[in-house]
Homo-oligomer: A and B are copies of this chain.
């Protein structure tokens, strides 16, 4: 490979010193260099195709304009990927590059990743999870790192997580507003329960209470987090006697909602005529493709990803320390799976 062209080459061609080139190319306005000189330097630099060596610069300035992005997985859903894309876009917008490392959640690998990244002199770390979790932050994670889709079990780190409770409120309120009073929560059955499960439950209960509806424990069911589990769990409430049967389902996620669709079909109910359904996650491959398209709550992955790097780079104010993680709003996405409750006496009909 031929020698890379450096600042000296520019200096020689432009008839100035290397220092001047550096000054010009970095817009050091403190040293008012005459416009003509600047112009000449820039022209020469462009002509001979000069590009700074950021290693050398970083060595000197102790700033690399790179950030370490360590996450458990890259993504499990197509939407979570937005988190990374948005983070990368925000990094670029601020003149930074992202080192991506996924550790599979292995603490040993996390250690190693952090060490490697520190050796690279990254300017900061984003520590990301692909589900809203409470995490034991790796002890070697430097102060000032920011957590993405994760809240620290302990330690004082800026963190951003989805407002799961608020999202649930929006979802259930949508159902209440449509006139429903018997609303089931088809929860996820996982141990330990994900944070989102409890938060969404809280939102669900909050709306019921505000609407003066007494929660019926029989309407809170749990199933495996997939279509089969959702179908099974939804079936349980759909088989309740007519007077206790829900007219609407708030599902923990879209996959469960997908199962709920199957259960409804199996019970001869049509959506949204006989049964309204709201999901969560807005997984494009599911929510939009279900028949009818599913009303659901979107996770603000992109917003969170951007937030994290902007806070890290100081492009956005750090949240005041002791206020807990920032809650990013989860917008309700209205599609066609919510309608008014059916008029009495005709649930469970087969084709007319």
Contact = CB atoms under 8 A, between A and B. Distances in A.
A98 interface: yes
A289 B228 contact: yes
A77 B285 contact: yes
A352 interface: no
A101 B67 CA distance: 12
Nearest to A121: B55
Given A52-B119, A59-B59, A121-B54, A75 B73 contact: no
A133 B81 CA distance: 21
Given A59-B59, A85-B102, A53 B289 contact: no
A97 B101 contact: yes
Contacts of A228: 289, 291
A58 interface: yes
Given A81-B75, A289-B258, A116 B102 contact: no
A211 to B, nearest CB: 33
Contact of A99 (B73, B78, B99): B99
Interface of A: 51-56, 58-59, 64, 66, 69, 73-78, 81, 84-85, 88-89, 92, 97-102, 115-121, 226-228, 231, 255, 258, 262, 283, 285-286, 288-291
12 contacts: A51-B119, A53-B119, A54-B121, A55-B55, A56-B59, A75-B81, A81-B81, A88-B101, A89-B102, A97-B101, A258-B289, A262-B291
